[in-house]
Amino acid sequence: MYEEEENRWRCSFRSDGKWINVNELLQTFGGGGHAAAAGVRKRTNDVEKFR
């Protein structure tokens, strides 16, 4: 997880795609990708809430 610009955070997840579909997980938060690799971006000044 890192800050792309002020108050805009990016987080990415990786999986082997067998047990956890990270795409489905991150769609819950407005992100997306593939079963084995997905990401999400959020604008927030409360990074602890995002974590």
Over residues 2-38, the pLDDT tens digits come to: 777 788 888 899 998 789 999 999 999 889 999 999 9
Cα–Cα distance between 16 and 32 in angstroms, integer? 16
Secondary structure of residue 24 in the 3-state scheme: helix
CA distance 15 to 45: 28
pTM of the entire predicted model: 0.72
**What's residue 51's pLDDT?**
66
Please enumerate in sequence order all residues whose Cβ is within 8 A of that of 21, keeping only pairs 6 or more positions apart, or say none. Answer: 15, 35
Is it the case that residue 45 has pLDDT exceeding 80?
Answer: no
Tell me how far apart the alpha carbons of residues 36 and 25 are, in angstroms, rounded to a whole number. Answer: 11
